[in-house]
Amino acid sequence: MKIERKWAMPSPLTFTINPISRLLDEEVEEGKLWLDPFARDSKRVAVTNDINKNTSALYHMDALDFLCMYDDASVDGVLFDPPYSLRQVKECYDRIGRNMSSHESNHFFSDIKKEIARIVKPGGKVISFGWNSGGIGKTNGFVIQRILLVPHGGPHHDTIVVVDKREDE
């Protein structure tokens, strides 16, 4: 496993942060099917989704419903850049006038990770972003290949990027 630490200014546009942008250049393979279920206005991969209809994403669905559209082991990779906490998820839902169900409050992240694990091909990758290094998880069939810690200084949380690879079955 490769672990790196590179300082950068924070940005709400995660993929524009220099060390993260460079990692994506290295890890996202051209000509492969990659999904971004929380894209906002990012065009880093061809198939994008965001629940907010005021974004330029290709689809505007709940992330779980978006991922459910894909067959088992049919996707080469997923960029998993969700809101980093349940508070942030609630804020996103509030902005579009949607309430979180009690199930979503308790299982938001685990349900999405299980669905991502279902659709990623053996040998495929998931690049996760957040405040922890859990990635998609060994119990879901993934092995961490690379971790990038991006400290932003002062009161800002680090952004932690985990590159997971689906073990061959």
CB-side exposure of 20: number of CA atoms within 13 Å?
26
Which of 155, 133, 142, 81 is closest to 112 using CA atoms? 81
Q: What is the predicted pLDDT for the residue at 93?
A: 55
Query: What gap in Å lies between CA 43 and CA 57, rounded to an integer?
Result: 8
Would you list the domain boundaries of the chain?
Answer: 2-75+83-166
pLDDT digits (tens, 9 = 90+) for 31-72: 999 999 999 999 999 999 999 999 999 999 999 999 999 999
pLDDT digits (tens, 9 = 90+) for 69-81: 999 999 999 999 9
pLDDT digits (tens, 9 = 90+) for 84-109: 655 655 565 556 566 656 656 556 77
DSSP 8-state class, residue 21: H
Backbone φ and ψ of 73, nearest 5°: 50, 45
Helix (H) or strand (E) holding 141: none
Q: What is the predicted pLDDT for the residue at 153?
A: 92
Q: What is the predicted pLDDT for the residue at 88?
A: 59
- Extract long-range pairs of 110-113: CB within 8 Å, 24+ residues apart: 111/64, 112/37, 112/63, 112/64, 112/67, 112/80, 112/82, 113/80, 113/137, 113/140
- Is the pLDDT at 119 greater than 70? The verdict is yes
- Is the pLDDT at 158 greater than 90? The verdict is yes
Q: Partners of 128 in the beta sheet?
A: 80, 162
- Pair of tokens at residue 114: 């299980």
Task: Give percent of the chain above pLDDT 90.
Answer: 76
Q: What is the pTM of this model?
A: 0.89
Mean pLDDT of the chain: 89
Q: What is the predicted pLDDT for the residue at 92?
A: 58
Q: What is the predicted pLDDT for the residue at 109?
A: 75
Give the 3-state secondary structure of 78-124: EEECCCCCHHHHHHHHHHCCCCCCHHHHHHHHHHHHHHHHHHEEEEE
* Superfamily name with CATH number, domain 2-75+83-166: Vaccinia Virus protein VP39 (3.40.50.150)
Q: What is the predicted pLDDT for the residue at 141?
A: 94
